[in-house]
Structure 1
């Protein structure tokens, strides 16, 4: 199974895991790394690398971050190994829900594509959906 490591500013990674497990149930091979403003970034990079090792059973790992170009993404990208360790920036709950099943049946490349598609698909503006847009 593809491992997941959520890496975000503040406690967002932990909250995303809690929300994911609320919707789809307890998850295996998932870790969180929360980056604080006063953290030692080399220590956090080491934490991310250790989390990758813990969740990697040989099927690969997807690191999900909150903001491309932010410190969590930059630290995660330093571990990028295309096809084996991939980074997706812009984490959202639909993406995580899709990964629950995708990571059991797909390659890293396929699972990343499925997660990105779900992440985009479920961004909605309610007034547009309900026909109340000005």
Structure 2
């Protein structure tokens, strides 16, 4: 069985993450749905809209990915997991979505763990690469007799 992925986040993040997933996996449109929560306070309507999107997915189980714990999308995700075979995970990022999609064949619990681990493993320091012309600078210093390295 394949688990569906449902991304619910502040507008326009959910649809942007879905578009990024479909860029990498263009044949996956039916397995990944997204709902952009608009600014406002109509949480009943937002919940109804999200439920309708999940119901339209051709899957039995759903992993719900959301952005910020405590915010409206995550609060809606908490309501969504009360029905059906669903689990939710906050802190969504591109590696989380990709990891979840490529492991959608796993059980819902194992998929939740893979998605979480993918997101955590992706948080890395960005290292500044060495200058491209480093060899040229070294030879320029060697030819300058008055230059002394310290």
The alignment's TM-score, normalised by the length of structure 2, stands at 0.78
Give the distance between the partners of 2:24 and 2:74, measured in 1 at CA: 25
The equivalent residue for 1:36 is: 38
Q: Is the Cα contact below 8 Å between 1:83 and 1:109 reproduced in 2?
A: no
Q: Is the Cα contact below 8 Å between 2:10 and 2:38 reproduced in 1?
A: yes
Q: Is the Cα contact below 8 Å between 2:63 and 2:112 reproduced in 1?
A: yes
Structure 2 unpaired stretches of 5+:
131-150
Paired residue secondary structure (2:88): strand
Paired residue secondary structure (1:17): helix
The equivalent residue for 1:2 is: 3
The equivalent residue for 1:49 is: 51
Per-residue deviation, 1:13:
0.5
Paired residue secondary structure (2:40): coil
Instruction: Spell out, residue by residue over 1:35-76, the C-alpha distance to the aligned partner (whole angstroms, 9 max, x if none).
Output: 111252110000111122112532x00111011111000011
Q: What is the total number of aligned residue pairs between the two structures? A: 128
Per-residue deviation, 1:113:
0.2
Per-residue deviation, 1:130:
6.2
Q: Is the Cα contact below 8 Å between 1:61 and 1:84 reproduced in 2?
A: yes
Larger CA Rg, structure 1 vs 2: 2
Q: CA RMSD in A?
A: 2.1
Equivalent positions of 1:1-134 (< 5 A) are 1-27=2-28, 28-38=30-40, 40-55=42-57, 57-58=59-60, 60-81=61-82, 84-103=85-104, 105-127=105-127
Instruction: Spell out, residue by residue over 1:77-130, the C-alpha distance to the aligned partner (whole angstroms, 9 max, x if none).
Output: 112149920111000111111112211x20110001000001100111113x86
Structure 1 unpaired stretches of 5+:
none
Give the distance between the partners of 2:113 and 2:125, measured in 1 at CA: 23
Give the distance between the partners of 1:6 and 1:109, measured in 2 at CA: 17
Give the distance between the partners of 1:32 and 1:9, measured in 2 at CA: 11
